[in-house]
Amino acid sequence: MKISIDTRTAQEVSADLLAIPLSTVRGRNPKLPSGLASLDRSAGGPIRAVLANRDFSGKAGETLLVYPTSTRSRCKRILLLGLGNAASVDAESLRRAAGRAVSQAGGKRAGRVALMLTDPKLAGDLDNVQALAEGAVLAGYRFDDYRGKRDSDSGPVRSFSLLLGREAPAREARAAASRGTILAESQNVARQLSNEPANFLPPVELARAARSVARETGLKVRVLDVAQLKRHKMGAILAVGGGSVHEPRLIVLEHRPSGSQPAGKRPFCMVGKGITFDSGGISIKPSAGMDEMKHDMSGAATVVGAMRACALLDLPYPVVGVIAAAENLPSATAYRPGDIVTAMSGKTIEVLNTDAEGRVVLADALHYARTEFDPCAMVDLATLTGACMVALGRFATGLFGNHPQLSELVRTAGDSVSERVWPMPLLPEHKDEIRSQVADIKNAGVRHAGASTAAAFLWHFAEDTPWVHLDIAGTGWTSKTGPYQPRGATGVGVRLLLELLRDFDESRLEA
Ligand code: BES
Ligand code: MN
Ligand code: ZN
């Protein structure tokens, strides 16, 4: 989808669908903003008519399609979109409105869409412009590569132009729209990887996908195969990956800023759980819903998408992405309950449940990230526990960490891009809970506080590096569609990470 800023007026632009977000309208004969009044006149007055009939009130989520009656009109359809109360309109309201515009246009096979902001205050805010681009690109995503085309299928929206009015600063608006486009396309890359079924995306294919993103964007990439994992003594990821004919891999993506940057800056590091399919292994899962476990590499997918965005936005400091990719299957070579495995750090892990595999692979990924790159901070993303899903549902990502300032930065970044995260407890007691009688730690404790004990396990490997763990078990995919969200993978975390890194500086971690 091509996103553009168009400085012309709505009457001058030809479009298959012109979307107009409006906040709550009062009375039958409200005063229309001048741009809207003249557009309505040139269209033969359909907007005045629906307002006079009170067929549209502007409440959040409301949509109404109206048709120009004048032959002078250059747009075929006008879609009114409710934003809700003017005072509470924010970037997310506009992200949603743009998403609704694109979804409705797709259903009508309206390939050229324009969206007009009638309120100069909204149009002047660059975060709003960015959010509109995001909503449009995100809503344009479909996972339909494996499906033959049908007559009933909607047509893709090809172009989306933003009409911001004469006063809006066009150059800055173009930069904001381009940033939003990069972020949303990167989130779509993450969604696509997460949606790919496990037979098409085993660890080796995930590595290939990471390589091709790296080639396109100028990231550096390194993939450790089994021989190299053995050389690094990564006994944890090797144990989990040992049950499948599809070998495990450790994937490393590196962004080095272009231009002259002060050398020796410590990188920011993101780490992703990349279980390409989680059957549970020998501790096998019930079959109902097991298909969803193709998404168990959503953390890894987010890391690939976010690293892509880091490169395309050319962030001014180094960022590293580390992915632990493995398939968790039962077989004659699978790791078993009772096994004791030695992680790269030297810590021994008693395996009590082979279905608690995410923390095991992350043990090696976190230790590798720390020791190889000496990061100033690490954030890991993982579809780690059913317990986190029970606690927070699909409404928030669970946040755990060892560094209050970093946790707070992550939380506020999530809030500002509408990828909500919720602070969860991580206590020394949770660490005690996973002490083993026969090894240093065990990979599963009692059921209670399951999301926290999983985080405590990771803490053993993050050690004293400032670190946040995001449990995206409930937010990584969804069976409910949203204004810019189809069923399936969400790509959650891409926008959050890039917002966190927007003006990140090591000094912000100091109290
Ligand atoms: N990938 C699952 C967690 C999960 C469950 C994510 C449902 C999304 C939806 C993880 O590997 C797992 O199986 N965790 C176990 C841990 C338990 C055995 C200690 C769980 O949460 O039940
Ligand atoms: Mn599992
Ligand atoms: Zn898992």
For ligand 1, is residue 357 a contact (CB within 6 Å)?
A: yes
C-alpha 114/C-alpha 286 separation (Å) is: 48
Q: Mutate which of 355, 389, 448, 453 to test ligand 1's pocket (most atoms within 8 Å of Cβ)?
A: 355
The predicted-structure confidence for 40-96, as pLDDT tens digits, reads as follows 999 999 999 999 999 999 999 999 999 999 999 999 999 999 999 999 999 999 999
Ligand nearest to the CA of 474: 1
Residue 290 CA, ligand 1 centroid: distance in Å: 11
Contact 453, 436 (CB under 8 A): no
The predicted-structure confidence for 2-38, as pLDDT tens digits, reads as follows 999 999 999 999 999 999 999 999 888 889 998 999 9
pLDDT of residue 250: 99
pLDDT of residue 98: 98
pLDDT at residue 262 greater than cutoff 70: no
For ligand 1, is residue 120 a contact (CB within 6 Å)?
A: no
The CATH H-level (homologous superfamily) assignment of domain 183-509 is Zn peptidases (3.40.630.10)
pLDDT of residue 261: 64
Ligand nearest to the CA of 450: 1
C-alpha 508/C-alpha 247 separation (Å) is: 40
Q: How confident is the model at residue 288 (pLDDT cuts 50, 70, 90)?
A: very high
For ligand 1, is residue 383 a contact (CB within 6 Å)?
A: yes
pLDDT of residue 445: 84
What does the H/E/C string look like for 260-300?
A: CCCCCCCCEEEEEEEEEEECCCCCCCCCCCHHHHHHCCHHH
- Across residues 101-121, what is the average pLDDT? 96
pLDDT at residue 317 greater than cutoff 70: yes
The predicted-structure confidence for 208-235, as pLDDT tens digits, reads as follows 999 999 999 999 999 999 999 999 999 9
pLDDT of residue 446: 87
Residue 216 neighbours by CB under 8 Å, 6+ apart: 308
C-alpha 21/C-alpha 452 separation (Å) is: 42
pLDDT of residue 153: 80
- Across residues 268-284, what is the average pLDDT? 99
Smallest CA-to-CA distance from 314 within 253, 257, 254, 252 is with: 257
pLDDT of residue 149: 83
C-alpha 28/C-alpha 51 separation (Å) is: 6
Catalytic residue IDs? 285, 359
Top-confidence residue, 311 or 30: 311
Residue 341 CA, ligand 1 centroid: distance in Å: 20
The predicted-structure confidence for 387-443, as pLDDT tens digits, reads as follows 999 999 999 999 999 999 999 999 999 999 999 999 999 999 999 999 999 999 999
What share of the chain in percent tops pLDDT 90? 93
Architecture of domain 2-164: 3-Layer(aba) Sandwich (3.40)
Alpha helices of 140-273 — where are they, by DSSP H? 170-195, 203-217, 226-231, 235-241
C-alpha 35/C-alpha 84 separation (Å) is: 20
For ligand 1, is residue 386 a contact (CB within 6 Å)?
A: yes
pLDDT at residue 318 greater than cutoff 80: yes
Mean pLDDT rounded to a whole number for the chain: 97
Residue 295 CA, ligand 3 centroid: distance in Å: 9
Question: First vs last Cα of the chain: how many Å apart?
Answer: 43
pLDDT at residue 450 greater than cutoff 90: yes
Smallest CA-to-CA distance from 308 within 226, 382, 434, 213 is with: 213
The domains of the chain are located at: 2-164, 183-509
pLDDT of residue 503: 85
SS3 category, 432: helix
Q: Of all atoms in ligand 1, which is nearest to the CA of residue 453?
A: 19
From the CB of residue 54, how many other CB atoms can be counted at a distance below 10 Å? Answer: 10
| Tokens at 498, concatenated | 């890039």
The predicted-structure confidence for 148-204, as pLDDT tens digits, reads as follows 988 778 889 999 999 999 889 999 999 999 999 999 999 999 999 999 999 999 999
Smallest CA-to-CA distance from 444 within 346, 339, 300, 370 is with: 339
Residue 385 CA, ligand 3 centroid: distance in Å: 7
pLDDT of residue 154: 84
C-alpha 317/C-alpha 203 separation (Å) is: 29
- Across residues 355-370, what is the average pLDDT? 99
